[in-house]
Amino acid sequence: MAYLNFDSSKLTKFVHDNELAEMQAMVNAADSELRNGTGAGSDFRDWLDLPTNYDHEEFDRIKKAAAKINQDSKYLITIGIGGSYLGAQMALDFLHNNFYTREEETTQVVFAGNSLSSTYLQDLIELVGDADFSINIISKSGTTTEPAVAFRVFKEILIAKYGEEEANKRIYATTDANRGALKEEADANGWETFVIPDGVGGRFSVLTAVGLLPIAVSGADIDELMKGARDAQNEYVDADLTKNEAYQYAALRNILYRKGFTTELLENYEPNMRMFSEWWKQLMGESEGKDQKGIYPSSANFTTDLHSLGQYIQEGLRNLFETVVKVDKPTKDIKIPSQEGNLDGLEYLQGKSMDWVNTKAYEGVVLAHTDGGVPVMTVHIPDQSAYTLGYTIYFFEVAVGISGYLNGINPFNQPGVEAYKTNMFGLLGKPGYEEIGKKLNDQL
């Protein structure tokens, strides 16, 4: 039995008994495209065997670099956008205390270059203050606007604080192995470099140096992270839908999509899993939203968002289905205390554990939403360990690969993200985009 438990038992009123089996032939074809490289985007499938076929020498260098950063820096400023930061921030939130701050033996990992907010950047500058810090710049090209701007700002501060020679020892570049502006600058200045593999797209890159360096700096166990992913790689290899729960999830979400359930809400019951949802939204949305089709990925954090979204989910437009990622054993638990009187009406809960209450809330919500016409699936994960996270990452990665091919699209490109960049460059007056900028300004 798989380490994770995928529960689709609440779909009986939405999916007939025969429907999943009827998907088997299409799943076999999708699996063949994915495994044999015959499908669109086949050059970007190296994440498939990444947990076993990764650069072990680089992996060791990542751990050594993390140890050095822990010794000489209070902060690691991780600069990147999209897949260049979402996986790392998701992992840090998932694996650490909800109010995670720098501990004695580790460095506080903070993020920049994921927006163009001047206020955010200045707030971060003020947070770092006079403390020792290092930079991890993550970019395939080195010319993506948001991280390039942030890197300029913090590189200038770094050089002013330490001088150019020492500053160069505090910059770690995760970039292309052979080419690009960042690679050229890194080689010229002697920065330690780590590789973004050519065959791994940004949204699949958390288990490369892109995610592993900041995760290791935070004090998390990247060996266990990779072990979990490796075991998942071995588990989710059989195309038989009766045996492969990641493929079941992919097939069932496509069945629901074809019935008009076009929005998927990823839900959890732990506040420190919000960034997991953000990582998942890029993975799913950028992989599947093409050719005027695809499931729209959204998210909610329960029970919190039940007080804002619960009404819509229960009685709004019936185009939603839910996938819950439920932690079966919380990292910590507390008992609800007893007290005299019952003014707050909680006498019936005193002495109960909060996780028991949280789980009963989950069960009640599933029943209510199902009765209200919302299909619900649950991915039960045992805990919030590094091993579990690696396993869960791989579950969703292989699922979206299959799901994309089932829907007849290339799950590994992202042609639509260039449209806004072209407009932005034109409006900013970037060389080569002047005519576009002139036309756009006339429209404003």
* Enzyme catalytic residues: 286, 421
Distance CA 93, CA 271 (A): 9
Is-contact 207 393, C-beta < 8 A? yes
Q: Using alpha carbons, select from 143, 146, 137, 149 the residue that is nearest to residue 192.
A: 137
Strands (E), 80-205: 108-112, 133-138, 171-175, 192-195
Q: Using alpha carbons, select from 113, 139, 280, 155 the residue that is nearest to residue 209.
A: 139
Angle at 387 between CA 382 and CA 391, to 5 degrees: 75
Instruction: State the distance between the two ends of the chain, measured CA to CA, in whole angstroms.
Output: 58
Distance CA 265, CA 275 (A): 14
- Strand order of the β-sheet with 263-268 is 5-7, 376-381, 320-327, 263-268, 296-301
Task: Please give the backbone phi and psi of residue 131, each rounded to the nearest 5 degrees, phi first.
Answer: -70, 155
From residue 263, give the alpha-carbon distance in Å to each of 195, 292, 295, 360, 374: 35, 14, 5, 25, 11
- Return the H-helix or E-strand segment holding 370: helix 354-371
Specify the pairing of strand 133-138 against strand 171-175.
Answer: parallel
The number of angstroms, rounded, from the C-alpha of 234 to the middle of its chain's C-alpha atoms is 21
